[in-house]
């Protein structure tokens, strides 16, 4: 065979001049119609599409650009919007964008090891992204204090809110449970669910706040059963470690705190016989030694059962956040599927009987 030769300079392949046409005609004359070459069959199931080339018009979103530009020096404090044992929260404005944020200033000078752990865990919390969880945007170390930049909600907290209409309360509970289920799937225990940590905006979006900072600060190097949070909303086994064989399930503890908060919204008052600002001994007796509170007989059976599924003395008998999202009290008012799987009630032992 004669080796293939490159075309002379100046002659392009497939040109419409005389030499190109002559070559094509000779190739056509040498074809053997009796010789065929089978082509491999392409299986579309295992085919892998090639990635598209990057476009020059693609650019980071505006929100991403804003997050990248959140420098501490660009924040102006407007006013104080809350305070507690762990720190103070201020409303701040990001000057370049005019966007409001909440800045939580955490008290105390922490040891280097504790400080590094706090920074690592806050960095993890920055990856939390759910419409019913307050977004953690950034954290700073300024003047020896750790300051966390959070999403700002213009409606404030639900503390002191009275929600007597069950349809409205169901929507609030659904949003809280949605955020809680998301956190629990990511192995994040809130440990301080209470009305003041449930925020709302002008569009009635409810979001869980303070889901990480208080937990991180109190936990430091201790296990999840360390004492932190408001005792009024703590589960019995967390207050009294002799209960439940000394075991504490943080996820079940969050469910108890949710049940107390939802019942408080419905009643318009703290649901135990003592005030939530009562002394430690009175609260411990009311929570650990008395029967769990119940919704009143005037409430619907669905709501009464929902509260009973949350406020079980035995942690293992409490429903999970995912299961409670399918409870009739939630599903009947959610506008979605109204039929609840009958097998759902067999997932856990039935709650204690409701008083008529």
Q: Where are the domains of the chain?
A: 72-151, 156-335
User: What pLDDT does 77 receive?
Assistant: 94
Whether the Cβ atoms of residue 207 and residue 199 lie closer than 8 Å to each other: yes
- For residue 104, say whether it is annotated as part of any ligand binding site: yes
CATH fold for the domain made of 156-335: Transferase(Phosphotransferase); domain 1 (1.10.510)
Nearest CA among 309, 305, 319 for reference residue 347: 319
Which tokens belong to 129? 């992204």
User: What pLDDT does 346 receive?
Assistant: 38
Report strand pairing: 87-94 vs 99-106: antiparallel
User: What pLDDT does 35 receive?
Assistant: 57
Backbone angles phi, psi at 80, to 5 degrees: -85, 130
User: What pLDDT does 118 receive?
Assistant: 75
- The residue to which tokens 């944020």 are assigned: 101
Q: Which residues are catalytic?
A: 192
Rounded Cα gap, residues 8 and 26, in angstroms:
18
Digitized pLDDT (tens) for each residue of the chain, 356 residues in all: 555 554 444 444 333 444 445 544 555 555 566 655 555 554 544 443 444 444 444 333 434 444 456 888 899 999 998 876 667 899 999 999 999 999 988 876 667 777 777 777 777 788 899 999 999 898 888 877 888 899 999 999 999 999 999 999 999 999 999 999 999 999 888 888 999 999 999 999 999 997 655 455 444 434 444 444 468 999 999 998 888 777 888 999 999 999 999 999 999 999 999 998 888 899 999 999 999 999 999 999 999 999 999 999 999 999 999 999 999 999 987 754 333 333 333 334 444 444 43
User: What pLDDT does 274 receive?
Assistant: 92
User: What pLDDT does 261 receive?
Assistant: 98
User: What pLDDT does 253 receive?
Assistant: 95
Q: For domain 72-151, give the CATH superfamily.
A: Phosphorylase Kinase; domain 1 (3.30.200.20)
Cα separations in angstroms, 269 against 196, 272, 273: 14, 9, 10
Domains 72-151 and 156-335 share a fold: no
pTM: 0.71
Question: Strand order in 136-142's β-sheet?
Answer: 75-83, 87-94, 99-106, 145-151, 136-142
């Amino acid at each position: 065979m004669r080796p293939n030769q490159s075309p002379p300079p100046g002659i392009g392949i497939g040109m419409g001049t005389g030499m190109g046409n002559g070559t094509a005609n000779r190739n056509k004359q040498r074809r053997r119609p009796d010789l065929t070459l089978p082509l491999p069959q392409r299986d579309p199931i295992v085919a892998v599409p090639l990635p598209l080339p990057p476009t020059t018009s693609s650019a980071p979103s505006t929100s991403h650009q804003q997050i990248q530009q959140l420098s501490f020096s660009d924040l102006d404090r407007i006013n104080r919007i809350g305070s507690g044992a762990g720190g103070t929260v201020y409303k701040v404005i990001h000057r370049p964008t005019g966007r409001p944020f909440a800045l939580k200033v955490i008290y105390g000078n922490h040891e280097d090891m504790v400080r590094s752990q706090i920074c690592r865990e806050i960095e993890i919390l920055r990856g939390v992204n759910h419409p019913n969880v307050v977004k953690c945007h950034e954290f700073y170390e300024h003047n020896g204090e750790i300051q966390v930049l959070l999403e700002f909600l213009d409606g404030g907290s639900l503390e002191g809110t009275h929600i007597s209409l069950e349809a409205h309360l169901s929507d609030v509970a659904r949003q809280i449970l949605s955020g809680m289920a998301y956190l629990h799937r990511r192995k994040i225990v809130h440990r301080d669910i209470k009305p003041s940590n449930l925020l709302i905006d002008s569009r009635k979006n409810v979001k869980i706040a303070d889901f990480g900072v208080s937990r991180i600060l109190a936990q430091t190097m201790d296990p999840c059963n360390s004492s932190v949070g408001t005792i009024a909303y703590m589960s019995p086994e967390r207050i009294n470690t002799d209960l439940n064989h000394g075991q504490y399930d943080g996820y079940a503890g969050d469910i108890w705190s949710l049940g107390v908060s939802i019942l408080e919204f419905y009643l318009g008052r703290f649901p135990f016989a003592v005030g939530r600002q009562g002394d430690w001994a009175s609260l411990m007796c009311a929570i650990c030694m008395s029967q769990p509170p119940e919704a009143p007989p005037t409430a619907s059976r669905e709501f009464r059962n929902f509260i009973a599924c949350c406020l079980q003395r035995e942690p293992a008998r409490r429903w999970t956040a995912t299961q409670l999202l399918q409870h009739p009290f939630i599903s009947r008012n959610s506008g979605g599927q109204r039929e609840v799987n009958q097998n759902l009630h067999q997932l856990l032992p039935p709650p204690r009987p409701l008083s008529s």
